[in-house]
Amino acid sequence: MPHIALVTLVVRDYDEALAFYVDALGFELGEDTPRPDGTRWIVVRPHGAAGTGLLLARAKNDAERDRVGAQTGGRVGLFLHTEDFQRDYTRMYEAGVTFLESPRHEAYGSVVVFEDLYGNRWDLLQPTEQDHPA
């Protein structure tokens, strides 16, 4: 069955992006392969996830650098689901992640908006059970 394997996220620097996604968000490094042109093929995924990963791609020209942190025009563009909202919120908060609001509880689940190190907006979301059929 077709599925989205990777989503490219344009970053300013490989190592600072890796530090944020692995250390602050708790993602796993799936691959970090140097390429002949001096770039790297870096894939990260939420811990234990087998689905879609992020390809961290270093901006290589002015047009790409202008989009670092603004890839969705200021909207929430990435959605990190969790099965334990409080655990992950607390861990991320203690790791220095910037939250743009207080956690809230909606009909669809517990949610809070946060920014990555570049300003891209994310939702940390624990969907209600009705949104996750068994």
Q: Range of 19's domain?
A: 1-68
pLDDT digits (tens, 9 = 90+) for 13-43: 999 999 999 999 999 999 999 999 999 999 9
pTM above 0.85, yes or no: yes
Q: Within this chain, do residues 58 and 103 fall inside the same structural domain, yes or no? A: no
* Calculated CA dihedral for residues 125, 69, 22, 122, nearest 10 degrees: 0
Domain co-membership, 78 together with 115: yes
pLDDT at 133 over 50: no
pLDDT in tens, 58-74: 999 999 999 999 999 99
> Contact, 47 vs 84, CB < 8 A?
no
Instruction: Among 14, 38, 68, give the residue marking a domain's end.
Output: 68
* Contacts of residue 130, Cβ cutoff 8 Å, sequence gap at least 6: none
Nearest residue to 42 (alpha-carbon basis) of 52, 26, 56: 56
Q: Examine the domain organization and report whether 86 and 58 are in the same domain.
A: no
CATH of the domain at 77: 3.10.180.10
pLDDT of residue 130: 59
Report phi then psi at 94, rounded to 5. Answer: -65, -25
In tens, the pLDDT along 74-120 reads 999 999 999 999 999 999 999 999 999 999 999 999 999 999 999 99
Into how many domains does the chain fold?
A: 2
